[in-house]
């Protein structure tokens, strides 16, 4: 079962991260527009963001579920690196919910941040992915 859980977990992670990487890039573009002046472009980008969020949100649940199942199936549950990686997964899940809050603000034309903020915000999942990969490959503790 371990290899099946691992395969499914990797599938969910790859798919989820595609959304986690791209959604804030759409936010960068939305933040550069004035929703009153650029209505067609704003509506197009907003629609893209809404559809992407609906696609990626369930993938996060799958990633977490199988991210918990893999260490149980492999007998790794008591190792510290597994708990650290799970914490990163939970933080990424929180990041996804922050993305949803930003999306709601864009839907209400109430964006409070500049495109520069979203450029930095976009780097958070990259850093967390690097940390998770380090934990999985090196199993430092």
Q: How confident is the prediction along the chain (141 residues), in pLDDT tens digits per residue? A: 999 999 999 999 999 999 999 999 999 999 999 999 999 999 999 999 999 999 999 999 999 999 999 999 999 999 999 999 999 999 999 999 999 999 999 999 999 999 999 999 999 999 999 999 999 999 999
- Cα separation of 108 and 87, whole Å? 32
6 is in an annotated binding site: no
pLDDT at 41: 98
- Cα separation of 53 and 57, whole Å? 6
- Cα separation of 135 and 114, whole Å? 33
pLDDT at 80: 97
Determine if residue 135 is left, alpha or beta; phi over 0 gives left, psi from -120 to 50 gives alpha, anything else beta.
alpha
pLDDT at 69: 97
83 is in an annotated binding site: no
Contact 122, 24 (CB under 8 A): yes
Contact 95, 120 (CB under 8 A): no
pLDDT at 61: 97
């Amino acid at each position: 079962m371990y290899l099946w859980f691992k395969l499914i977990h990797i599938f969910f992670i790859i798919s989820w991260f595609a959304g986690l990487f791209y959604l804030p890039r759409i936010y960068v573009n939305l933040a550069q527009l004035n929703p009153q002046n650029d209505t067609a472009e704003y509506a197009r980008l907003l629609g893209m963001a809404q559809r992407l969020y609906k696609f990626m949100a369930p993938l996060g649940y799958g990633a977490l579920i199988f991210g918990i199942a893999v260490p149980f199936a492999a007998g790794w549950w008591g190792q510290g690196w597994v708990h650290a990686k799970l914490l990163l997964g939970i933080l990424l899940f929180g990041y996804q919910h922050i993305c949803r809050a930003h999306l709601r603000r864009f839907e209400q034309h109430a964006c409070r941040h500049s495109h520069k903020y979203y450029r930095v915000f976009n780097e958070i999942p990259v850093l967390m992915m690097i940390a998770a990969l380090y934990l999985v490959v090196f199993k430092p503790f």
